[in-house]
Amino acid sequence: MHIAVATAVRLDELTRLSVEELSGIGPARARALNALGVETIYDLVTYFPRRYIDRSRQVSIGEAVPGEQVLLVGRVVDARRIPTRGGRVIVEAQLVDASGKITLTFFGQPYRAKQLASIAGEVAVFGRVELFRRRRQMTNPLVDPIGDKTGAIVPLYSLREAAGLNSSDIARAVAQVFSTYSDFVDVLPPSLRDHLGMYDVYQALWQLHFPSNEQARQIARRRVAFDELFLLQVKLAQLRAEREALAVATVHDTHPFGAGEARLVEDFLSRLPFAPTTGQLTAVGEIAVDMASEKAMHRLLQGDVGSGKTLVSVLAMLFAVQSGHQAVLVAPTEVLADQHFRSISALLAETKTPDSSTGRLFEGLPRPVTIDILTGSTPAARRRKLLAELADGYLDIVVGTHALFNDELSFASLGLVVVDEQHRFGVEQRSALTDRVTLQQGSSPDTLVMTATPIPRTAAMTVYGDLDVSVIEGLPPGRRSIETRWARTPAEATAAFELLRQQVGQGRQGYVVCPVVEESTKLQVRAVTDEYERLNNAELAGLRLGLVHGKMNSKAKEEVMAAFRSREIDVLVATTVIEVGVDVANATVMIIEDADRFGIAQLHQLRGRVGRGAEQSYCYLLSEAETAVAEARLGALVATEDGFALAEVDLELRGEGTVLGGRQAGRTDLKVASLSRDRELVLEARQHARAIIALDRSLAKHPRLRAMILALFGEDEADFLLRS
């Protein structure tokens, strides 16, 4: 059945119509489109061009001048593999048009020979013209098959796996949608559309595929980006509102000097060797309000590295405990869970760190607080005991890894779930625990999510858009800034190790971090072990070195960490297993090898392992890389210690993908909007979305919007973010 009449259609209807319904698209073409992830007509109109070529800027091949970057359009002939002595494959081809020809040379891309030979029609080639043996050539240019193009600005679509499709095939299919339907019914409320003054959705989608000029494309992009962000924000606002309306939460006594049964928090605060910072108190205040209410708390706690998120989470947990409930803290790794267990125990006990092989009872407080740790490597007998103690309410706080998500766990009364480094967990895991407990006890535990390093505001609004956000402003007093240097030459690297030796001579400690070896963990272990041996015999000879990496079992790891904490080890040579949480105030030097191989957030997190005491600390970034990316990343690290500022730089450099991670995969993926470029648009979309949902949670008064939200995110609201 083909749709014959040109009519207006609702976009949500297009999400239910297969591309095969379009005239001119048969089963074969449909299959090719499916291979691109395009199944419905909606998928097709939102399959946006990857780039465009502006044919007015195109140069004829005869005119292409060596040294310049140019766009050429022509036909590929004579593509072939040229074997070399080194066994490397070079692929060569000729690009021809009426004015002349040029050689295209590809290194390390053996698939090119077949691919280029199979292209029918013209290709757009973008690259720098070089002279090689007096012939003009381009090395590893961008190649886009365009088919038979028309018009001044030609859309180029990503073609990945789609065999036998070129950009003009896709453009034709898209154009077919527009000739089938005379209009798309706009889902934005008319008042909002007028207010924003943007193209209507039909125009915008058309212009984004087939722009009449650059300005029109920009306006179209803005509208489509707005819709993307707006629809997501409506869903997030709805999710939040529905959750608030549904679940009755555990109500906590959050009075610090309280009427509560045991006044735990007051006593805890009075015994703390330092005063919480204003930033910490503000965050605790926001958490307290949520926890005292019948609405379930869903709050994100952001704070820079070292801002003291742990203390804030402990106060939240004590609110739960003094109200007669239990609290769990979930960390992404065993090292981190162990570290949390230690530092929370230390905060509670204000004595020496407890032995992690036994649960602890802190009798100093007006009411004993019990805490224990559960991970994948907890021995079966201890695990059984712990489960029983959780079920009968003996244990107040349990720290652990995802082992805590296990179905076997049941609680006497779980009041709070703290999730550290949330991005490493699937959302489904967190909500599975909460949902199960809610069913069991009839009230929902509160949830506090903590991020390791700050994430930019727009990203927080998108990835964690259904959560409220608290930010710990500032750092505890007395922190000295960490001197950060980029060691670009072997001499500067030597100086870095020299400084480390000096610091050790003065009783301090340090870290040397080796880069991740992507290929395999086996190679990784070898690399870090080799480096450990090398340093032992060279730069750091005579010092007491320890080695820690991800492949060691947790007992061995813990032994090394314990030796480091008790200063039996001067320098820890490590992979990024020490990235998060490790808290040794006596460590003052952090040396990061091949620093350009790490991301900004990781570098910032690693740097945060030093500067935790009163002494001046140092961070050396070792890298001889001269790339623009290295310049931008390492330059930013040297320039600022502000994690929020670094997060913005990171977003700009790396784009959304890395920030959004798995959570935004699939339908909620941002195709057009950019969290760094479209900052105000994110704010605007969120503001309008929240305003609408505040008055009309179920969208009864906005039926078109409602239909679209349902079409995109499905009925099962708690589930939509999980789809990927």
Distance of CA 350 to the CA centre of its chain: 36
d(CA 236, CA 167): 35
Q: Are 586 and 613 in contact (CB under 8 A)?
A: yes
d(CA 681, CA 673): 9
Give the nearest distance from C-beta 314 to ligand ADP in angstroms. Answer: 9
For the CA atoms of the chain, what is the radius of gyration? 29
Structure-block tokens of residue 380 = 């079966």
Q: Are 482 and 604 in contact (CB under 8 A)?
A: no
Residue from 254, 307, 333, 431 touching ligand ADP (CB under 6 A): that is 307
Q: Is 602 a residue that touches ligand ADP (CB under 6 A)? A: no
Give the nearest distance from C-beta 586 to ligand ADP in angstroms. Answer: 12
Give the nearest distance from C-beta 348 to ligand ADP in angstroms. Answer: 12
Q: Which one, 264 or 311, has the nearer CB to ligand ADP?
A: 311
Give the nearest distance from C-beta 341 to ligand ADP in angstroms. Answer: 13
Residue from 74, 308, 359, 546 touching ligand ADP (CB under 6 A): that is 308
Task: Classify 143 as helix, strand or coil.
Answer: strand
Residue from 311, 636, 670, 712 touching ligand ADP (CB under 6 A): that is 311
Task: Classify 134 as helix, strand or coil.
Answer: coil
Q: Which one, 379 or 477, has the nearer CB to ligand ADP?
A: 477
Give the nearest distance from C-beta 476 to ligand ADP in angstroms. Answer: 3
If one counts every other C-beta atom within 10 angstroms of the C-beta of residue 5, the result is 7
**Considering only residues 466-505, where is the footprint of ligand ADP by CB under 6 A?**
476
Q: Are 71 and 53 in contact (CB under 8 A)?
A: yes
**Considering only residues 559-598, where is the footprint of ligand ADP by CB under 6 A?**
583
Using the rule CB under 6 A, give the single segment among 69-77, 80-88, 304-312, 491-499 that binds ligand ADP.
304-312
Q: Which one, 165 or 331, has the nearer CB to ligand ADP?
A: 331
Q: What is the DSSP letter of 722?
A: G
Task: Classify 286 as helix, strand or coil.
Answer: helix
- The residue type at 480: R
Distance of CA 375 to the CA centre of its chain: 25
Q: Which one, 147 or 276, has the nearer CB to ligand ADP?
A: 276
Q: Is 309 a residue that touches ligand ADP (CB under 6 A)? A: yes
Residue from 209, 221, 612, 663 touching ligand ADP (CB under 6 A): that is 612
Work out the widest C-alpha separation in the chain, in whole angstroms.
Answer: 90
Residue from 305, 369, 660, 705 touching ligand ADP (CB under 6 A): that is 305
Q: How would you label 230-265 residue by residue, b for 16+ Cβ within 10 Å and e otherwise?
A: bbbbbbbbbbbbbbeeebebbbbbbbbebebebbbb
**Angle in degrees, 0-180, between the axes of helices 214-246 and 703-713, rounded to the nearest 10:** 90
Residue span 425-464 as binding mask against ligand ADP, x where in contact by CB under 6 A, dash where not: ----------------------------------------
Quote helix, strand, coil % in the chain, to nearest 5. Answer: 45, 20, 35
Q: Which one, 211 or 308, has the nearer CB to ligand ADP?
A: 308
Alpha helix (H) ranges present in 210-327?
Answer: 214-246, 264-271, 278-292, 309-322
Give the nearest distance from C-beta 329 to ligand ADP in angstroms. Answer: 12
Structure-block tokens of residue 465 = 């858009």
The answer for 505, left when phi > 0, alpha when psi is -120 to 50, beta otherwise, is alpha
**What does the DSSP assignment read for 20-33?**
GGSTT--HHHHHHH
Using the rule CB under 6 A, give the single segment among 85-93, 300-308, 326-334, 699-707 that binds ligand ADP.
300-308
| Exposed / middle / buried, residue 293 (Cβ in 10 Å: 0-12, 13-18, 19+) | middle
Q: Contacts with ligand ADP: how many residues (CB under 6 A)?
A: 15
Give the nearest distance from C-beta 280 to ligand ADP in angstroms. Answer: 6
> Taking Cα atoms as reference points, which of 668, 651, 667, 670 lies closest to residue 659?
651
Q: Which one, 295 or 609, has the nearer CB to ligand ADP?
A: 609
Residue span 205-244 as binding mask against ligand ADP, x where in contact by CB under 6 A, dash where not: ----------------------------------------
Q: Is 310 a residue that touches ligand ADP (CB under 6 A)? A: yes
Give the nearest distance from C-beta 430 to ligand ADP in angstroms. Answer: 19
Using the rule CB under 6 A, give the single segment among 114-122, 143-151, 305-313, 480-488 that binds ligand ADP.
305-313
Q: Which one, 192 or 344, has the nearer CB to ligand ADP?
A: 344
β-strand pairing of 446-450 with 483-487:
unpaired
Q: Which one, 167 or 484, has the nearer CB to ligand ADP?
A: 484
**Considering only residues 257-276, where is the footprint of ligand ADP by CB under 6 A?**
274, 276
**Under the rule (CB under 6 A), what is the footprint of ligand ADP?**
274, 276-277, 280, 303, 305-311, 476, 583, 612
